[in-house]
Amino acid sequence: MNGIFVTFEGIEGSGKSTQVRLLVAAFQQMNLPYLTTREPGGTNISEAIRSILLNPSFPEMKPETELLLYCASRAQHTGELILPALQEGKIVICDRYFDSTYAYQGAARDLDENLIDTLTVFATYGRVPDITFLIDLPVSVGLSRIQDRQLDRLEQENSSFHERVRNQFLSIANKCPSRYYVLDGSDEPEAIHQKIISALQPLIGERND
């Protein structure tokens, strides 16, 4: 049985990591096979690329370099970890995937979307998530949630950058209504979690038929 590919998207401070943790706990209770991972990262090579991408010591990084590094990380991550896990029948939960590239490098960095299309198909081996949860909230709220931690290179961008990211996520959700679920990130975490479980129920149910 093929697995289920679940991704989480959102601006910085949206609460993705919290929802991933809650979902893992639910899957453990349901005794479902799962794998959690993140982008950039997930494998040794991809995590090494992550350390370059998010390092605030590299403010001179060109948008083109950033895009290619993300795609290199994704190609290794998808080929080495995600696809094999799906083939084993696991539910793969990924904190960010290619939609983040359209938001951060496409909209916020103003790189060509057609080029991103080509690189995305190549780097993902053509695999698209089965369901994507966008945890949406105002940029001011998201940034206020992370102000007390050490910020990485992208988190340090100004609010207009993050506004473009948020708007692009909402635009993608509007274009892909069959894949996307938009959730209000200002709701209580448990309330958001219950909506995620409800949305996943049809996919999980198919596994048990």
- Identify the bridge partners of residue 8 per DSSP, sorted by sequence position: 95, 133
Domain 4-208 = CATH 3.40.190.10: no
Per-residue pLDDT at 131: 98
pLDDT for 121-176, tens place per residue?
A: 999 999 999 999 999 999 999 888 988 888 989 988 899 999 999 999 999 999 99
The one-character DSSP state at 184 is: E
The Cα–Cα gap between 100 and 27 comes to 25
Chain centroid, CA 151 distance in Å: 18
Report the predicted TM-score, pTM, of the whole model to 2 decimal places: 0.95
Over residues 41-98, the pLDDT tens digits come to: 999 999 999 999 999 999 999 999 999 999 999 999 999 999 999 999 999 999 999 9
